[in-house]
């Protein structure tokens, strides 16, 4: 397969690339690095990237930032930022990419554990993750040309504990290479409308 991995320079994206590359043609994408440069916040940039590729069999999105902070300190702008960065950028990849993904091809988005296992300071992340999972479920029944769509919902990534550890006390970290297997299952399997949880 020809697979476009967006956010390939990140912790999860690089693990997904390493998992899939021995078996497939993997094209990496990102704002500052990768085979194809794109800004996922810009529809024109997304479309230009797909035009450059012409056609792919699968798209993996390992991108999206959210705001962490105490609920009493977060403002509406923090939730809007989280929705734009984590949810809408990935939704837009699907809306534009569906015209470039092959028949029976797939999209795999990234959510996260906080939709079902919330933490203090994580309301914006929980909201965005839940919305991604709901979008995947709903979109799966209307995808064109037999295309599939799934999400991977990893726990906190082991390699990121230095940064996120204080927020995730009591969570068992997930090695990025183990999370990458769920992306492989989504891309190389047959399921659609599914959230692959990695805890």
- Confidence at residue 89, expressed as pLDDT on a 0 to 100 scale: 97
Mean pLDDT of 107-129: 97
- Confidence at residue 70, expressed as pLDDT on a 0 to 100 scale: 96
- Confidence at residue 7, expressed as pLDDT on a 0 to 100 scale: 97
User: Tokens for 79?
Assistant: 């939730």
Tell if the pTM clears 0.85, that is, is over it: yes
Mean pLDDT of 127-133: 98
- Name 164's Cβ contacts closer than 8 Å, sequence gap at least 6: 156, 157
Is residue 191 classed as helix, strand or coil in its secondary structure?
A: coil
* In the chain, where the domains are located: 2-198
Mean pLDDT of the chain: 97
Q: Which residue from 82, 92, 157, 171 is spatially nearest to 126, judged by alpha carbons?
A: 82
Give me the DSSP letters along 2-37: EEEEETTTSHHHHHHHHHHTTTSEEEEEESSSSSEE
Mean pLDDT of 27-55: 97
Mean pLDDT of 173-187: 98
Which CATH number is associated with domain 2-198? 3.40.50.720
- Name 152's Cβ contacts closer than 8 Å, sequence gap at least 6: 108, 109, 110, 111, 179, 182, 183, 186, 195, 196, 198
- Confidence at residue 53, expressed as pLDDT on a 0 to 100 scale: 97
- Confidence at residue 161, expressed as pLDDT on a 0 to 100 scale: 95
pLDDT band for position 49 (cuts 50, 70, 90): very high
């Amino acid at each position: 397969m020809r697979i476009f991995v967006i956010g390939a320079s990140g912790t999860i994206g690089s693990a997904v690339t390493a998992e899939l590359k021995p078996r497939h043609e993997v094209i990496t994408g990102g704002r500052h690095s990768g085979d194809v440069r794109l800004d996922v916040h810009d529809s024109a940039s997304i479309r230009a990237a797909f035009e450059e590729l012409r056609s792919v069999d699968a798209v993996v999105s390992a991108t999206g930032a959210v705001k962490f902070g105490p609920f009493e300190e977060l403002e509406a702008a923090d939730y809007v930022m989280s929705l734009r960065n984590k949810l809408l950028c990935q939704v837009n990849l699907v809306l534009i990419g569906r015209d470039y993904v092959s028949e029976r091809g797939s999209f795999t988005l990234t959510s996260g554990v906080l939709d079902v296992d919330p933490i203090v300071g994580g309301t914006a992340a929980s909201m965005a993750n839940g919305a991604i999972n709901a979008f995947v479920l709903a979109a799966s029944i209307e995808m064109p040309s037999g295309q599939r769509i799934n999400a991977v919902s990893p726990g906190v990534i082991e390699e990121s504990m230095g940064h996120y550890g204080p927020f995730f006390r009591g969570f068992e970290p997930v090695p990025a290479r183990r999370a990458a297997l769920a992306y492989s299952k989504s891309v190389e399997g047959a399921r659609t409308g599914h959230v692959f949880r990695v805890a």
